Amino acid sequence: MSAAKKVTIRSYQPGDERDIVRLFHQAYGSFTGPTKVTPARWREMHERGWWNRPSVVEDSECVRLLVQRGQVLGYLVFHQRRPKDGHVYLQELCIADVPDREELARFLIEDAVRVLRGRGVDTVTWMQSPADASAVGLADELGFLELLREPTVFMARLVCLQALLGELAATFSRRLRASEFANWSGTILFEVDNEQVALKVARGSATLGPTPPARPTLTVRTDRGTLCRLALGALGAEQAYQQDWLSLRPIRLTLADRPCRALELLDVVFPENRWTLPRAHSW
């Protein structure tokens, strides 16, 4: 028996936001911006119809949940700004990391398309990352046409460098501890436009320094747009460096008594993750 025959799909009900947020964080990890997605936050945004139309109060069917034996294994949000709008966006699709997840994703999308066809919708756009081979393959199987090849980040803007780095310090620490830089110590000075903020690293623990140091271990000079794209994972440090969008001083560091490229450290701190991010959770 296929996985699709063992599950049911239903519309959103109050309280489902707990499972939705759990699946959201499994899919997007730390790439959700400083505005943390909590069940209360998710419900507030979707009740107000902030970025999605209609809101879940007006139309609970715009959020579809895939359930197996009482457990929510996935959800999908579609975006239809007006009731009779013929063009609809599949805004979020998150499936738990379980066997047959691609089949479950197909089942959920086919269900949404069936609902939208019943509403007279003639065009459905699935917003996804071109770097996600599974999603791209599934879209091809389901007859979606490729419109854009490049990844897109919606409404992303860096407003305050110190706030951004302070929010990401705990994430930087986790990434450093899981890398070969776990025992590295030093100070990274970020010079972004007219701001300077120091990040102190001590054996895998990253914190904001009170004042910019006179002699930082590494100075990273770039602009707000480039750092925003690095923080969101939409741009790799190597590409930014090769395009002369950021400069490093010095070019090489010392790691466990061996020289290494400073870019190796930036690749750990800012890993490339070319997801198409939900617009409401970007910087």
* pLDDT value, residue 245: 93
Range of the domain at 210: 161-269
Query: What distance in Å separates the CA atoms of residue 275 and residue 28, rounded to the nearest whole number?
Result: 8
Q: Does one domain contain both 95 and 171?
A: no
CATH code of 190's domain = 3.30.1050.10
Q: Does one domain contain both 11 and 125?
A: yes
Q: Does one domain contain both 18 and 143?
A: yes
Query: What distance in Å separates the CA atoms of residue 219 and residue 265, rounded to the nearest whole number?
Result: 12
High-pLDDT (> 90) share of the chain, %: 39
**What is the residue whose two structure tokens read 């459905």?**
124
49-106 pLDDT, tens per residue?
555 566 777 788 889 999 988 899 999 988 876 666 678 888 788 899 888 888 999 9
Predicted TM-score (pTM) above 0.75 = no
202-246 pLDDT, tens per residue?
988 999 988 888 899 999 999 998 998 888 887 889 999 998 999
Q: Does one domain contain both 84 and 19?
A: yes
Query: Can you tell me the mean pLDDT for 38-53?
Result: 74
Query: Can you tell me the mean pLDDT for 250-261?
Result: 90
Query: What distance in Å separates the CA atoms of residue 208 and residue 201, rounded to the nearest whole number?
Result: 9
Q: Does one domain contain both 142 and 240?
A: no
Q: Does one domain contain both 177 and 137?
A: no
CA distances from 14 to 31, 55, 77, 83 (A): 26, 13, 15, 22
Query: Can you tell me the mean pLDDT for 21-38?
Result: 72
Partners of 11 in beta bridges: 64
Three-state DSSP state, 143: coil
Query: Can you tell me the mean pLDDT for 113-140?
Result: 81
**Cα Rg for the chain, rounded, in angstroms?**
21
Q: Does one domain contain both 215 and 235?
A: yes
Provide φ and ψ at 126, rounded to 5°: -100, 115
Query: Domain boundary at 128, 150, 172, which?
Result: 150
Token readout for 96 is: 């738990």
Please report whether residue 274 resides in a domain: no
Residue 3 pLDDT exceeds 60 = no
Q: Does one domain contain both 93 and 142?
A: yes
Query: Can you tell me the mean pLDDT for 149-171?
Result: 77
Q: Does one domain contain both 242 and 134?
A: no
Residue 129 pLDDT exceeds 70 = no
CATH code of 45's domain = 3.40.630.30
